[in-house]
């Protein structure tokens, strides 16, 4: 079927030189109906109208559902977090309230003044109790045992002890780091009372002013008498300074300054006693007058009367 | 207007120029409609396919790139639409296998020979034979013949449209021409024989 005749016919057809088919094609003239033209034109016009109505910033198909899902998730997270914060706040406030109520309900035990928390910073407590805190074998030596009298001091002492233990056994640091930190925070919290507790703590500290000044006091020293409330108010609840250092019993210690005397009436009284013992009656009387002027409401029984000569 | 202008018109329409589409449509509407009508041999189906082809052209305007002739692009869409139509309505393909006699009878019913002059009647008969011969061709050969006749594409472009090589398209076209010639010549020969037979008794 691929003879020369067919090839010639094909060449004529390809060269558009075949009049037969051309004539047939012209006779078989077919045109699309006008309705079809209108339909196609309407389709094209509608597509252009839709295109012009499309906004400039055209978001993807997934943008809307993703935005909705993200909004819902974020809203839920915020609501849940708010609820959790409220619960946490309530939980945190409950112990403080309980502590306050316990402090209010618990009667102040004047026989155990050493358990009250003085106004002493943790650093000061650490500094004062460092020699006794180290768990070394030498701690059993007849070294004077220093009292860690306040809760802050106890915590600070515990911290020092923990540090020493950790230094000896580093693995203990990893195991006990979290409780140690918690205890340290508790110690700081206990050593530095809140503003709400300042009045009660200060009153207690003033009542135990002697204890404050004797963070390095020897244990066998006699207990000071309890001061009255008015006396507590006059005594500033501050940590003892270097001037109010423990006084030696031999009386060879230097005389106290006026500020130290006013801060520590017991030390002042001891100084007066020492003056009397030394035979300086006039000076002792002068000091006694100054003492009564400074502490007019100090109980008379607490003030030693001069021996009758 | 050149084919490059067709591509430019399509780009202008993609940018929103409706006039460009109207020009493009007016340039290709007749040839595309004839291609579809002769291919399907069903005016209603041709109308549907014609609308579908132009709808696809409209929908794909933003993706159009003038890398080839617009005619190649347009008739590839038409070819694919026709293939899809054949797959969708396989039962209708049986209807396409009408014989030449049926086709002639159908045309004779629509155009009574008594109302036509002799010349017009002869033309009508020739056209009917042409349509019948075209309908008797296999789909691939008819497609290739019609694409060459109506779209004005080259054999290479027809090969691209139909998804075959240029040699295959050329072979299909050769077979189509041979079958068409044979189908067109047979009635004429029979008529000549019939006339000679008629003349012999009177001679």
* B18/A contact by beta carbon, under 8 A: yes
> Looking at beta carbons, which residues of chain A come within 8 Å of B25?
37, 40-41, 44
Q: In this complex, do B55 and A43 lie within 8 Å of one another by their Cβ atoms? A: yes
- Which value does ipTM take for this structure? 0.71
Nearest chain A Cα distance for residue B34, angstroms = 6
A28/B34 Cβ within 8 A:
yes
Tell me which residues of chain B, numbers 158 to 187, contact chain A at a CB-CB cutoff of 8 Å: 170, 173-175, 177-178, 180-181, 184
Residues 6+ apart with CB under 8 A from A175: none
Q: Determine contact: B64 vs chain A, CB below 8 A.
A: no
A163's tokens: 């540090």
For B171, name the nearest residue in chain A, comparing CA atoms only.
A2
Q: How far is CA B77 from CA A41, A74, B74, B86, in A?
A: 18, 48, 5, 14
CB A265 within 8 A of CB A291: yes
On whether the CB atoms of residues A247 and A253 are closer than 8 A, the answer is yes
How much is the pLDDT for A268?
A: 86
User: Nearest CA to CA, how far is B51 from chain A (Å)?
Assistant: 6
Among the residues of chain A, which ranges form H helices? Answer: 4-14, 19-27, 34-53, 63-105, 122-133, 151-168, 170-191, 198-207, 209-213, 229-234, 258-263, 265-277, 281-294
pLDDT number for residue B48:
92
Backbone φ and ψ for A268, nearest 5 degrees, come out as: -65, -45
Of B37, B38, B123, the CB nearest to A27: B123
Q: Are A28 and B130 within 8 A, CB to CB?
A: yes
For chain A, first and last CA: distance in Å? 162
pLDDT of res. A113: 47
Check residue A71 and give its pLDDT: 95
- Residues A205, A211, A216: CA angle, nearest 5 degrees: 135
Judging contacts by C-beta atoms under 8 Å, the chain B residues touching residue A20 are 184
> Do residue A47 and residue B61 have CB atoms under 8 angstroms apart?
yes
Per-residue pLDDT tens listing for chain A (309 residues): 556 776 777 777 777 666 666 666 666 677 889 999 999 999 999 988 887 665 556 667 788 899 999 999 999 999 999 988 887 777 666 655 555 555 555 555 545 544 444 444 444 444 444 444 444 444 444 444 444 444 444 555 555 555 555 555 555 445 444 444 545 555 444 444 444 444 444 444 444 444 444 444 444 444 444 444 444 444 444 444 444 444 444 444 456 677 787 788 888 888 888 888 998 889 889 888 888 888 887 776 555 555 544
Q: Which residue of A has its CA nearest to B23?
A: A41
As given in the structure block, the two tokens for residue A161 are: 């002890």
Q: Which of A24, A27, A29 to mutate to test the interface with B (most CBs of B within 10 A)?
A: A24
Q: Find the CB nearest B16 among A2, A9, A52.
A: A52
The chain B residue lying nearest A4, using CA atoms, is: B174
Cβ(A202)–Cβ(A177) below 8 Å: no
Q: Quick check: helix, strand or coil at residue B185?
A: helix
- The answer to whether the Cβ–Cβ distance between A44 and B177 falls below 8 Å is no
Report pTM.
0.43
């Amino acid at each position: 079927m691929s003879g020369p005749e067919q090839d010639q016919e094909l060449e004529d057809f390809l060269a558009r030189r075949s009049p037969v088919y051309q004539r047939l094609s012209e006779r078989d003239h077919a045109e699309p109906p006008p309705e079809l033209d209108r339909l196609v034109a309407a389709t094209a016009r509608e597509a252009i109208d839709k295109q012009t109505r499309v906004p400039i910033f055209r978001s993807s198909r997934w943008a809307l559902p993703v935005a909705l899902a993200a909004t819902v998730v974020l809203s839920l997270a915020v609501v849940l977090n708010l609820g959790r914060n409220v619960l946490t706040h309530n939980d945190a406030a409950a112990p403080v309230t309980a502590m306050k109520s316990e402090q209010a309900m618990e009667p102040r035990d004047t026989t155990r003044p050493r358990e009250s928390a003085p106004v002493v910073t943790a650093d000061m407590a650490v500094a004062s109790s460092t020699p006794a805190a180290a768990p070394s074998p030498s701690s059993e030596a007849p070294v004077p045992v220093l009292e860690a009298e306040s809760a802050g001091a106890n915590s600070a002492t515990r911290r020092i002890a923990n540090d020493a233990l950790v230094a000896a056994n580093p693995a203990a640091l990893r195991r006990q780091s979290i409780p140690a930190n918690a205890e340290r925070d508790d110690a700081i919290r206990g050593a530095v009372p809140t503003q709400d507790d300042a009045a009660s703590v200060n009153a207690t500290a003033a009542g135990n002013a002697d204890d404050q000044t004797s963070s390095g006091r020897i244990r066998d020293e006699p207990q000071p008498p309890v001061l009255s409330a008015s006396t507590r108010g006059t005594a500033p609840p501050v940590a003892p300074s270097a001037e109010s250092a423990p006084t030696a019993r031999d009386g060879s210690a230097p005389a106290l300054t006026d500020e130290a005397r006013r801060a520590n009436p017991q030390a002042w009284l001891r100084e007066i006693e020492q003056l009397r013992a030394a035979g300086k009656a006039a000076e002792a009387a002068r000091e006694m007058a100054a003492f009564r002027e400074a502490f007019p409401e100090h109980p008379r029984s607490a003030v030693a009367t001069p021996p009758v000569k | 207007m050149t084919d490059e202008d067709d591509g430019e018109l399509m780009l202008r329409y993609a940018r929103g120029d409706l006039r460009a589409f109207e020009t493009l449509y007016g340039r290709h509407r007749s040839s595309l409609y004839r291609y579809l009508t002769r291919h399907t041999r069903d005016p209603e189906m041709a109308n549907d396919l014609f609308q579908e082809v132009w709808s696809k052209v409209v929908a794909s305007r933003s993706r159009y790139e003038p890398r080839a002739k617009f005619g190649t692009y347009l008739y590839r869409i038409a070819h694919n639409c026709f293939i899809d139509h054949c797959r969708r309505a396989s039962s209708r393909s049986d209807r396409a296998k009408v014989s030449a006699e049926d086709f002639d009878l159908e045309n004779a019913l629509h155009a009574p020979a008594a109302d036509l002059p002799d010349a017009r009647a002869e033309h009508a008969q020739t056209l009917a034979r042409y349509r019948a011969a075209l309908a008797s061709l296999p789909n691939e050969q008819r497609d290739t013949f019609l694409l060459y006749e109506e779209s004005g594409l080259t054999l290479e472009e027809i090969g691209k449209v139909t998804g075959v090589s240029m040699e295959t398209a050329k072979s299909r076209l050769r077979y189509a021409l041979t079958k068409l010639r044979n189908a067109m010549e047979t009635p004429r020969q029979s008529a000549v024989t019939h006339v000679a037979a008629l003349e012999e008794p009177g001679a």
